[in-house]
Amino acid sequence: MKILIINGPNLNLLGKREPEIYGSVSMEDYLSRLEKDFPSEEILYYQSNVEGELINRLQEDDFEAVIINPGAFTHYSYAISDCLRNINKPKIEVHISNIYKREDFRKKSVTAESCESVISGFGMKGYQLAIQSLK
């Protein structure tokens, strides 16, 4: 299966940004681990701090499933939500932290309703859980 993992704003800083919340492993290192753990899956990765670039990537349609961590766009990007709604493939939203234990504004996901499921609060392992559930 060809799986697109797509991350939103500031997730390029994983391993450096607030390690007490997001951990100390970079996304590049974690992707290497995922590729070893799931050798039969083709994992595509894309990250951008720009909403429109994320939408453009999602519309490329060169994948069979999506794992998305929209970052801050989770809470207000109806454009990403609309884009996800129009992708007729499995979609899983992943959050490294438990968004329901954080600030009030983080407890609402406008993108989750356009995905089949949400994984929140398992750290980086959320990406692994998402891939396992897609298999």
| pLDDT tens digits, 99-129 | 888 778 777 899 999 999 999 999 999 999 9
First and final CA of the chain: distance in angstroms?
Answer: 8
Residue 41 pLDDT: 97
Which domains does the chain show, CATH number per domain?
2-134 (3.40.50.9100)
| pLDDT tens digits, 56-106 | 999 999 999 999 999 999 999 999 999 999 999 999 999 998 888 877 877
Q: What share of the chain is helix, strand, coil (3-state, %, to 5)?
A: 45, 20, 35
The reply to whether 133 sits in an annotated binding site is no
Contact between 69 and 75 under an 8 Å Cβ cutoff? The reply is no
Spatial distance between the Cα atoms of 45 and 65, rounded to a whole number of angstroms: 12
- Known catalytic residues? 22, 95
The reply to whether 69 sits in an annotated binding site is yes
The reply to whether 75 sits in an annotated binding site is yes
Contact between 92 and 116 under an 8 Å Cβ cutoff? The reply is yes
Spatial distance between the Cα atoms of 83 and 109, rounded to a whole number of angstroms: 15
